[in-house]
Structure formats: structure tokens, C-alpha cells
Structure 1
């Protein structure tokens, strides 16, 4: 087999999608959203294979339940990683020896202006800072990939998400598929045009992947999480080694994998009801 490529696919940054009704199971437009998500994944798989016919491609369903991509409609040349919980979350497949990563359908971090459906992991998390720098899912996942020596060579989503990624990986390829007009509004490409651009961008990213170094964070990592609800901070502070100051919880992690696992746990705790 050739190079192993991990494609992590979220939903909020997919062309045409602007509202939680399109990204949430049992809401009226979710089935359309998952078809559009699957089509963008297929476009990127095709672009990778165009450039590297022997590539081994893993597609990680990385939105919500991690059970959105339609398995029977996914390009047969890719393997699908789906379901949760899983240790590596949105980047499951890194531990299986992935050499290159791509982010598809990603969104900007919580609070970003001019961004569609912006958030960081869960709505209850207002900000995540690692070693003093604010990161959204794009940045957190880029650092996680980098800790495995894996460069992220492509990102797609709205313009704000692409700009967020370019600040971390200026040599990588971005494919903006819409321009945010608000949290639930965008000027978007037609899905088929977006898919054409994604296929082209993925091929270009594979040709240039050697020019992209992995992103690394100095260790140990100091992580701060601002939470929307004091109760979420109460629950998070029950985790050994986590300390609380107001609505902010703080912990130190020896590795990015450990930090990522802790962030997943804190996000899950914020969803526990009274």
C-alpha cells in the first residue's frame, strides 16, 4: 500500500449547511446534511486517489455522534471510522499509522466573527487555551496530529475556518466553500461546485504534502477551558488534577493525546443534565 491518509470530516463547514436543523439527527433537514457531508468526503477521497492511486484512505466521521456519513454511499476505496466514544475522537486513525491528515467540513472556533455554526467541541465551551493560545477544533486537532508527526495538508469549511487553519499551516491547501454572514447564515457555493474544488484541492495537497511540517506544542501542556455554566465547572473540577477558578477549569497534560482526552471528557460532562 502507499501513503496512509486520514480524512476527518465534520458537518458544519460543508457547502450549503447553515443551521442546526441540518446537522442534528431527528431535525427536519438532517438527512440532506448527511448526504452533503458524504458527498464532500467522497470528493476528497477521489482527489487523494487521483494524485496517489495506491494511497490507503481512512475517513473518520467526526461530527456529533460520529454516525453521519452514509456508509453505503461512501467511496469504496476508503475505509470508514465511525461511532463514539473513541480515544482519538475526530482524529481516530492517527494511531493506525496515518501519515497525512485532511480536515473537511470544519468550522471556526467559538466566538469567531463572520463564521457559520462556530463553536469549540461543544456549545458549553466558550474557549480553550493551550499554553496561553486560544484554539478551536481546527487548532486542537492540528496539534494532536502534529504530536504524532502528521501534518495537516488541507482544510475546508467557511472562509473563517480556512483563515483559522492558514494561521497554523500557511503552506497547506484551503478550500473555502462558503462565506459566513452570521452564525446561521452564509453565501455558499453550489454543492457540486464545492465538491469539484475539494477534489482538486485534495489532489494538490497530496502533491505538496512534503512541504508541510507537523505542528507541535511544547510539553507539558497547560490547558484552560472557559465554560458557559458554573455547574459545568463544578462537574469538571471533580476530575483529579483539574482545578477551578470561576467558570474556568485548568489542567496540565504531559502529552497532546492526554490533553485531547481530557477535553473530550469535559465536553461530555457539560451535557449531563440536572
Structure 2
């Protein structure tokens, strides 16, 4: 939702907040625009939409294109990419945001406020990098991203051949110059169709294992809990834990678990 045109403030992205309901509608409309582009290019395509913001219950099901299926709710296998498998031909990232520390970028963070940074073999990655790597592990290229200019640049660095739709130019963490929502949707429709037609020309993000994973956590109590997981140890710095994963899928799952542990408060 952070990468939807017109959305710039945390209260717009949190249930119960100012203009959250408007943001839900804007998010659903941009997803529908991407769907329309995909199905224009390949009318027989099977499209699965994974609601992947916050509680994973933001898209308005009754307003979504009736030709698709919707993955909704959490926790769930593969997290933000629920439903991804080895038969997936392409993945599109709609409404994405840049990683923590990737500013100036609108609402930049990595997974949640409980996670300060994630590094794979020393390289910082946010949700864009983690999800692109998981898609690549399953043989699916990320053919499109929409969001602010920083999010688009983040994926383009990993996947030079990907298509981008910058629906806003970041001025800071909570400010941007945005396209009109109608223009954002028109561009998404057009670019999604073009991206799907050339999906077999987009390279995969491949990170061969084993991988050294480091996660900087906001809360020291979460670090204490994390070290109870076999294979996870306290690393340099009071807020850093580390582990070695056999592959990207295992790394992704453990990062998900660490994020959920951060929701547990001291008894």
C-alpha cells in the first residue's frame, strides 16, 4: 500500500487510520489495472493476487477483478508471495516501497518497524530484494514493479530488464509528488501488458545457498527470543542475530518467523 499513488503517510496505511479506507480503494484500483494489463496480453492467464500489506487484509474482495483468485490473511506459507510455486511464469510487484535506509523514499522500511535491516551474505535487502529472490528460487522473474521512484530503482538494480511504473516521486519519508490515480492506473495497465508479453526475457534473481543471513532487530527482547531458535545466534551488536540458510526459501521463512516473534512482548 505504501507504493500506491497518493499514499504518503502511515495513518493512511494502517486500519482505523485517517484515510485508510480511501487508500484501500486506491490500492484495489491499481491492482485491477495491473490485472487488466496481464489479461489483455494473455487472456487465458491464471492470475493470483496476494494481498501483502500489513495484516494482509486490505484489498476489497468485492471490488477486485472477478477473473482472479485472492490470497488473503496471515500467517501463511511464503508470506507476501503466498501461492507462488514452480509453475508461476511471472510476478508483478504493485504498490511496493523501498527498504529501510533506502531514502529519500516514501514510508521506507523492511517488513515491519521491528526489523531494522536484513542482509544476505552482507548485502542489505528489503522486501523487494527478499521477494525477488524467493520468486527467482521458484523460477519466476519479477517483470514489473510500481511504487515511488526509489522502489523502482531498487528493483531495477537487481533486475535491469524489469518494467517500472513510478507513480510518485519521493520527497521524503512522508511526502511525494504523485501522479493522478487515473494516470497511475493507465500506466499500470499499459506497462503490465507489455511486461507480460516479454516475461521470458527478464532475468531471474538467483542467490545460491548456503546464505549467511543477518537481521537487525529493534527490540532486545526479540533478540533474546530469536536465540532460542536452533541455528540462530547473537551476532556483533546487541540487536543483531545471524544464521546460515541452505537456500533462499529457508532464509525467507526464518526472517518471517523473526518478524512474528517481534510481536511478543515481555510477560
Distance in 2, Cα, partners of 1:96 & 1:254: 18
The residue that corresponds to 2:81 in the other structure is 91
1:254 to 226, 240, 246: 246
Counterpart check, 1:133 vs 2:152: no
> 1:223-248 CA deviation, whole Å, 9 max, x = no partner?
00112222221121121110002211
Distance in 2, Cα, partners of 1:58 & 1:97: 12
Distance in 2, Cα, partners of 1:103 & 1:78: 16
Q: How does 1:160-175 map to 2 (within 5 A)?
A: 160-175=150-165
SS at match of 1:56: coil
The residue that corresponds to 2:14 in the other structure is 24
How far 1:255 sits from its partner (Å)? 2.1
Distance in 2, Cα, partners of 1:168 & 1:95: 21
How far 1:214 sits from its partner (Å)? 1.3
Q: How many residue pairs align between the two structures?
A: 264
> 1:144-194 CA deviation, whole Å, 9 max, x = no partner?
000001111000100000000000110110000001111111111111110
Distance in 2, Cα, partners of 1:131 & 1:142: 16
How far 1:92 sits from its partner (Å)? 0.8
CA contact (8 A) 2:86 2:140 kept: no
1:269 to 258, 261, 264: 261
How far 1:221 sits from its partner (Å)? 1.2
Q: TM-score scaled by structure 2?
A: 0.96
CA contact (8 A) 1:227 1:248 kept: yes
CA contact (8 A) 2:208 2:247 kept: no
Q: Which runs of 4+ in 1 moved over 4 A?
A: none
> 1:191-239 CA deviation, whole Å, 9 max, x = no partner?
1110100001101101111111211102011100112222221121121
Distance in 2, Cα, partners of 1:160 & 1:152: 17
The residue that corresponds to 1:107 in the other structure is 97
The residue that corresponds to 1:181 in the other structure is 171
The residue that corresponds to 1:41 in the other structure is 31
How far 1:59 sits from its partner (Å)? 0.6
Q: TM-score scaled by structure 1?
A: 0.94
In structure 1, list runs of 5 or more residues that go unmatched. 1-10
User: Pairwise CA RMSD of aligned residues?
Assistant: 1.0
> 1:8-41 CA deviation, whole Å, 9 max, x = no partner?
xxx1100000111111011121111111110010
